[in-house]
Structure 1
Amino acid sequence: MSRISINMALSDFYAAHPNSTTSVLLLPRYSAGDVISTAAAALDLMINHEVHAVLGPQRSVEASFVAELATKARVPVVSSSATSPLFVPSQTPYFIRAAQSTPRRLVPSPPSCRPSGGAASSLPYRCALPTYASDDRISVELYKLKTEQTRVFVVHMTSTFARRLFARAENAGMMAEGYVWIATEGFTCLLPSFEPAVVLDTMQGVLGVRPFVRPSEALRDFQRRWRREFWKENPNYTGTDAAEVNNFGVWAYDAAWAVAMAARASVRSARNSSHRETLLEAISQTEFDGLGGKFRLVKGALNVSAYEIVNVIGEKATRIGFWTARYGLTRGLNWSSESPYSATRDGLGPVIWPGESTSGAGKGGRHPRAGGSYGSLVPGPVEPGFHSFLNVEKDPVSNETKASGYVIDVFEAAVRQLPYALPFEYVPENAKGKRAGDYNALVQEVSNQDDRSNSAWIFLKPLTAELWLVSAAFFVFTGIVVWALEHRINEEFRGPWNHQIGTVFYFSFSTLVFAHRENVVSNFSRAVVIIWVFVVLILQSSYTASLTSMLTVQRFKPIVTDYKELIDRGEYVGYLKDSFVKDVLLKWGFHESKLRPYKSPNNMRTHWQKEAKMEV
């Protein structure tokens, strides 16, 4: 896109200035996005070809290397797409940014420090992912974000990576109502070239900010000619991106025009080295009405007076307003207005948030409740001697149940390892209507929800209802296909209609136990049967494994190994006072005189020490 735009700019410039005594000659180099290759190509152009200026590179990470080389070689570098604010004229005086620098400063502030009526940002979590991160890695990070308190996400990344991110976010249920996604200009500027189906499926409701390029007849004519040039050079293009020019293409056009204009103004320079410095000064002072608006460099970067705020609705981004340093957020641009600065979105157009919601922004900061929270039942009160294992308290201010201790640490560590979000809250046992400390009721709560092996319909549990229906449908379908292929050439599939219908069902369902006795003659039938028997084998193996697991899984009941031997030998058995263990031991046949209740480990040790002294 940039190459076509630059060629068009130079062609248009010299067509408009036919008597120009200078001519800009392009020496294009393709670095394939590699930093080392980019630096090597730039060094070759500066030293071996003694170029007067470098147009590019495109990425900010590449520009950091080229800018250092340019400073030492005193060669102006003009980039129309490296928008990182890390490059400043004082450090890289030969680097010129013919695009707007990306502001990347978000200041976290507590509620007491937030300005009245202004905008403040809170950064509870920052996620940095490499561009080579796998889809699984992206999903893991998204699920972590899903468990955070916020629902507002700022996305600053390349367009290629953003495609993958939003696709995974859609799968994770994070493009639904209540979520807010805000994209920076590097991604938003490229939205016009995205495949419409991708935008429609994964990016609905996204907000974006990009430098405003005022529409004009010259711009529309350039866009038409650019598409013509693109298809002339790429007649067999089959890429997923649309053949559309965006802000970066417009800035590349204006940057090339600025270099040509500066070269014409500095033509009087005789020596090559001084010509480079003169050219740098000429580029910095060049001003003209470009395709992107007024071309004027301020502190080595393109001066952008307004930003456009867009909302992804349908297959494209719809403008909902602007942001300017003078007026803040506004619906339209009116430079003669006396309106005060606005930091609220009241002046913007209507926003359609993810999930087709019109009020999604108001839910951005709420606690995540996607699908509701899981209640984790905790017993209480706990004896003081066991607080290191479990302690349950009620926060007097928030009325929230707080749980701590070893078992809680293990539970929360396990939850953090899950590759998906699991919002939960601790629920005290007595909130279920049971008396405090009633461990029998607590164990029964678990048993009521997990013990399914006693159900008469347990054999239906290994498969879902949908899978049962689909399997039955394919059994019938397979029988019909085999009958259709065999009944004209095979006597076993002929006879009265009731006999043929019975054969269809008998043949297909008998394959479940591999006991079908009808012979098939057609080769097509044999192929169908072989494939179907293989599917049945997989289905049967999965069903058997799931059912076996359900029937043999350990019950949620306390089990004591060799407890009958303890009864026969008359051993004493200790248990936690007020726990369910006493009732279980009595039920198993232990005599109450052989049971010893304890409130803490120290209490248990003291008791057994006394018992040992008495025996001595």
Structure 2
Amino acid sequence: MGTLRFLLCAFVSLVFLFSSKAKSGVKEDVIGAIIDTSSRVGKEESLAMEMAVEDFNNHFNHTLHLIVKDCQSQPLQAALIAVDLIETERVKAILGPNSWEEAKLVAEIGSRTQTPVLSFDETTPNWAIDKWPFLIQASSDQSIQMKAIAAIVQSWKWREVTLLYEDVDSYANGVFPYLSDALYAVDVMIAELVAFPPANSPSPLLFDALMNLRERQCRVFILHSSLELALKIFETAKKMEMMEKDFVWIVTHSISSMVHSIDHVNISYMQGGLGVKSFFSNSGDYYKLFYKRFSKRFQARHPHEENHEPGIFAVQAYDAVWTVGLASMGGSGSISTDMRGQHLLEKILESDFNGLTSQIQFINHKLPATKIFGVINIVGRSYRELGFWSENMGFMEPVEMGAKNFSSMENLELVIWPKGPKTTPKGWTLPSSSNATLRIGVPTSTFKQFVTVEKDNSPSQGNNYTGYAIEVFKAAIDYLPYPLPYEFVNFTGTYDDLVQKVYLKEFDAIVGDVAITSKRYKWAEFSHPYTEPGLVLVSPVQLQTSHKAWLFMRPFTITMWLLTGIINVFNGFVVWLIERNHCPELKGPLVNQIGTLLWLAFNTLFSLHGEKLHSNLSRMAMVVWLFVALVMTRSYTATLTSMLTLQKFEATVKDVEVLKATKAPVGFGKGSYVKGYLTDVMGFDSYLMQCKTPEEYEQAFRNQSIKAAFMEAPLAKVFLAKYCKGYTQSGPSFKVGGFGYAFPRGSQLVPDISEEILKLSEQGILRGLENGMIASETCVDEDLIKDRSSLSPNSFWVLFTISVGSSTMALIIYVIHKLNSKELMVECLTIWVFISAVIKHRWHQRRQLPIKVSDPEMRPKAEICPSRSTFAIQGLEMH
């Protein structure tokens, strides 16, 4: 009986329904909506969809019926509602699951029944479209917002961020892949991922999670969650003093797009926060009319809400209703037949009209990704719009968007940070266990120019730390935009042990002449080098020309020497030809005349006083040639003097391979990485000697204990500054090492200190400090160089050999020529008397006996022509 009554009622209802439609000539299309009507987003979406149905029906004289169901943010409840809407209400499409958990269950039901599901979730994965072909994402993809957040982080030079997200699929899957890629592109690390329980979880869990974050060094937080959870987090953070100076909070689109709806109490907890929100144009007349109507009706329906303006979610819901409505009409202005299923899906995907947000077109079942985001600063009872960001243009000013763009957010309007706008938060802090003071280890350097540790006479009995490495670090600290207290602690162990102390957290940093090596990178992270990197070879110097015996030939070219000889012979021939009639000595045997001719030819080159000539013609020729010879000899003398006294120095060792081939002893710095590099990389198996100080290096060179030394480039500069003329750098520089400051891996100080070191270098301060260090050294090897620059017989031994050899050869030839002559006995006697006189003179000189030569016969005489020379040795004359 009850079943019969139910069927009868149903029949009556259907008859009434069809009769009413027949009268009006209008067909009713039913669509369903699944939302959480208790949330602010659900309230806005519900009202916006109702307004869209009214506007659509009025515009097309079409009856579009909307059925809204409340799922209370429960995925299973949403699935049950979907079944009811499809089977009972016979809806053509379903709108509104806002979370991925709800959307995937509803999409499963919709695909089985061929009912299009237009989801408002923003994180629909691509694979879901293939699995559920009737699923459509009716909200713009927000993945590009992560690039906007990365650009904000990069603008303020924060190097680490902590990601906070709600532990549900909608927020976990929709943020990490995109955000991690965006941050990696700008060289920013995610220090930690913190998953918060959903908004309906107990508050103590929030407190414990935030307390753990408060003890960490990273103070830049990116929050991606629902608005309900975000409000709880900010309220708890405010009570824990985590909305203070040096803290940075950045919220994503899911929160910042609803900031307009937050009441004054909750928004007071978020003061100083930043956010990115989807941009849509609100300047059109149609939107302005929608805004007024929506605000008025929303205020009437929800009087307890403080703010009544619509957000992006309301606008998207409005456009979604129009999308289904236009598709159900088949693209024409008239009512079409029943178009459920596949045909309706195709028409929805073919949509192309101007909505409230933007152009409505679907690509791969999704609306195009949002390209422009607004950058907001939460201040007072609402928020300030600082500007905009787009992937192609960067940051843009809020007025006349697109007219001027910037690469950094610093060029936009002033940001009001937590506790005021004066100082940009550094985004990190020291661990609370260190009492906010850095413990900096300082090595005991053997090169005092880099690090000097002196005992202080003050009552505290501390140490004074000076040197180039210390001064550069102090200058970098002074340039930091935030104060950084620190204290130096002396360490007497090896450099490797000191770097390991940073790894063990015994030191917060290391400042000194610590070389950057791959081995030490396992324990610590280094700043940008503050010295020139490289390993150089240092060796003693020698004169470049000391081994060139034919140096005396270099003042003239070969052509000049040949021309000079030809002119000399020609002038000698002229003088001989003219003077031979006036001097019998110019006559005689041919060999004698040739010798006399050559003697006359070259005598003018070395004897500028000339000879006694009898002919005016010979005198004229001789005067001209004397002038030429004067100029030539003076030029030769000056050039040769310059070559001998102003010589350059060269290294005694020019090639590393020579050192290895000769197995020469080599020096290196004690306690440095150089020994391992020489043996393992360069293949040195010869004797290696450790040297600590510049003085030890120099002493080893003097003692011939080492032939060369490998020094790190900055240490070599100091050594060569002190011993500036005795040693030099030779060979190529090996690009290793370089001095830097060591910090624990992941330290926030590394990029800041590196940046300040680069600024010091660009401004010339680093060079000034280095020049001051090198200028403090005075060269101490002047005497050594004077000895090395003195001329020695090595440059003249060929001349000496030619002179002695030619004299000996002339004597031998002369003796052979005179063997048959009676004059030989007289000349031999003369030579014997001369030699005896010399020997007797030396004998008496040693015994201090006077020498007396009174025999006039012991004064042999010889006369030649055309000149006369006299040779006298204490009473002995030879003419």
Q: Same fold (TM over 0.5)?
A: yes
Alignment of 1:431-510 (within 5 A): none
The alignment of Structure 1 onto Structure 2 pairs a total of residues equal to: 381
Instruction: Identify if the C-alpha distance between structure 1 residues 347 and 69 changes in structure 2 by more than 3 Å, giving closer, same or farther.
Output: farther
1:283 and 2:348 matched? yes
Instruction: Identify if the C-alpha distance between structure 1 residues 400 and 161 changes in structure 2 by more than 3 Å, giving closer, same or farther.
Output: farther
Q: How far apart are the structure 1 equivalents of 2:295 and 2:436? A: 52
Alignment equivalent of 2:366, drawn from 271, 284, 301: 301
Q: How far apart are the structure 2 equivalents of 1:178 and 1:264? A: 57
1:205 and 2:205 matched? no
Alignment partner of 1:160: what SS? helix
Q: How far apart are the structure 2 equivalents of 1:231 and 1:107? A: 37
Alignment match, 2:409:
345
Instruction: Identify if the C-alpha distance between structure 1 residues 78 and 107 changes in structure 2 by more than 3 Å, giving closer, same or farther.
Output: closer
1:59 and 2:99 matched? yes
Counterpart AA for 1:364:
G
Alignment of 1:109-258 (within 5 A): 119-131=186-198, 132-199=200-267, 201-216=268-283, 217-234=285-302, 237-238=303-304, 242-258=307-323
Could you say which structure has the larger radius of gyration? 2
Q: How far apart are the structure 1 equivalents of 2:494 and 2:418? A: 35
CA contact (8 A) 2:115 2:134 kept: yes
1:4 and 2:47 matched? yes
Alignment match, 2:419:
355
Alignment partner of 1:40: what SS? helix
Q: How far apart are the structure 1 equivalents of 2:396 and 2:494? A: 44
Alignment partner of 1:298: what SS? coil
Q: How far apart are the structure 2 equivalents of 1:196 and 1:398? A: 56
1:48 and 2:88 matched? yes
Alignment partner of 2:129: what SS? coil
Alignment match, 1:439:
none
TM-score, normalization: structure 2? 0.39
Q: What is the Cα deviation at residue 243 of structure 1?
A: 3.1
RMSD between aligned alpha carbons? 3.8
Query: What CA deviation, in whole Å up to 9, does each residue of 1:369-427 have, x standing for no partner?
Result: 69944999xxxxxxxxxxxxxxx99895897995999xx9xxxxxxxxxxxxxxx9899
Instruction: Identify if the C-alpha distance between structure 1 residues 248 and 404 changes in structure 2 by more than 3 Å, giving closer, same or farther.
Output: closer
Instruction: Identify if the C-alpha distance between structure 1 residues 149 and 375 changes in structure 2 by more than 3 Å, giving closer, same or farther.
Output: closer
Instruction: Identify if the C-alpha distance between structure 1 residues 393 and 109 changes in structure 2 by more than 3 Å, giving closer, same or farther.
Output: farther
Alignment match, 1:329:
395
Larger proportion of strand: 2
Query: What CA deviation, in whole Å up to 9, does each residue of 1:19-39 have, x standing for no partner?
Result: x5xx32112211222111110
Q: How far apart are the structure 1 equivalents of 2:181 and 2:435? A: 29
Alignment match, 1:16:
59
CA contact (8 A) 2:501 2:507 kept: no
CA contact (8 A) 2:386 2:413 kept: yes
Q: How far apart are the structure 1 equivalents of 2:500 and 2:58? A: 76
Query: What CA deviation, in whole Å up to 9, does each residue of 1:478-501 have, x standing for no partner?
Result: xxxxxxxxxxxxxxxxxxxxxxxx
Q: What is the Cα deviation at residue 253 of structure 1?
A: 1.0
Q: What is the Cα deviation at residue 225 of structure 1?
A: 1.0
Counting aligned pairs with the same residue, the percent is: 23
Q: How far apart are the structure 1 equivalents of 2:53 and 2:236? A: 42
Q: What is the Cα deviation at residue 100 of structure 1?
A: 1.8
Query: What CA deviation, in whole Å up to 9, does each residue of 1:117-143 have, x standing for no partner?
Result: xx2431111111111332221121112
Instruction: Identify if the C-alpha distance between structure 1 residues 70 and 401 changes in structure 2 by more than 3 Å, giving closer, same or farther.
Output: same
Alignment match, 2:115:
75
Q: How far apart are the structure 1 equivalents of 2:311 and 2:271? A: 20
Instruction: Identify if the C-alpha distance between structure 1 residues 398 and 263 changes in structure 2 by more than 3 Å, giving closer, same or farther.
Output: farther
Alignment match, 2:381:
315
Gaps of 5+ in 2: 1-43, 144-174, 440-490, 510-879
Alignment partner of 1:29: what SS? strand
Q: What is the Cα deviation at residue 45 of structure 1?
A: 1.4
1:33 and 2:73 matched? yes
Instruction: Identify if the C-alpha distance between structure 1 residues 302 and 125 changes in structure 2 by more than 3 Å, giving closer, same or farther.
Output: same
Counterpart AA for 1:296:
Q
Q: What is the Cα deviation at residue 211 of structure 1?
A: 0.8
CA contact (8 A) 2:100 2:124 kept: no
Alignment partner of 2:385: what SS? strand
CA contact (8 A) 1:13 1:260 kept: yes
Q: How far apart are the structure 2 equivalents of 1:354 and 1:370? A: 24
Instruction: Identify if the C-alpha distance between structure 1 residues 136 and 64 changes in structure 2 by more than 3 Å, giving closer, same or farther.
Output: same
Alignment of 1:526-545 (within 5 A): none
CA contact (8 A) 1:170 1:202 kept: yes
Q: How far apart are the structure 2 equivalents of 1:183 and 1:395? A: 47
Q: What is the Cα deviation at residue 220 of structure 1?
A: 2.8
Alignment partner of 1:259: what SS? helix
Counterpart AA for 1:306:
I
CA contact (8 A) 2:57 2:64 kept: no
CA contact (8 A) 2:257 2:277 kept: yes
Q: How far apart are the structure 2 equivalents of 1:369 and 1:208? A: 29
Counterpart AA for 1:15:
N
Q: How far apart are the structure 1 equivalents of 2:111 and 2:179? A: 33
Counterpart AA for 2:87:
I
Counterpart AA for 1:180:
V
Gaps of 5+ in 1: 377-391, 409-423, 428-616
Alignment equivalent of 1:364, drawn from 427, 435, 438: 427
CA contact (8 A) 2:430 2:436 kept: no
Query: What CA deviation, in whole Å up to 9, does each residue of 1:7-63 have, x standing for no partner?
Result: 111111222223x5xx32112211222111110010121233332100112223211
Q: How far apart are the structure 1 equivalents of 2:79 and 2:350? A: 27
Alignment of 1:84-99 (within 5 A): 84-86=123-125, 88-99=128-139
Instruction: Identify if the C-alpha distance between structure 1 residues 336 and 229 changes in structure 2 by more than 3 Å, giving closer, same or farther.
Output: closer
* Larger RCO (alpha carbons 8 Å, 6+ apart): 1
Q: How far apart are the structure 1 equivalents of 2:492 and 2:86? A: 71
CA contact (8 A) 1:85 1:102 kept: no
Q: How far apart are the structure 2 equivalents of 1:212 and 1:356? A: 27
Q: How far apart are the structure 2 equivalents of 1:99 and 1:209? A: 16
Q: How far apart are the structure 1 equivalents of 2:348 and 2:422? A: 47
Which moves more between the two structures, 120-129 or 344-353?
344-353
Alignment partner of 1:54: what SS? strand
Which moves more between the two structures, 254-263 or 393-402?
393-402
Q: How far apart are the structure 2 equivalents of 1:101 and 1:225? A: 28
Query: What CA deviation, in whole Å up to 9, does each residue of 1:357-376 have, x standing for no partner?
Result: 34434x01454569944999
Counterpart AA for 1:219:
Y
Instruction: Identify if the C-alpha distance between structure 1 residues 397 and 43 changes in structure 2 by more than 3 Å, giving closer, same or farther.
Output: farther
Q: What is the Cα deviation at residue 307 of structure 1?
A: 1.1
Counterpart AA for 1:275:
R
CA contact (8 A) 2:330 2:336 kept: no
Q: How far apart are the structure 2 equivalents of 1:393 and 1:73? A: 79
CA contact (8 A) 2:56 2:64 kept: no
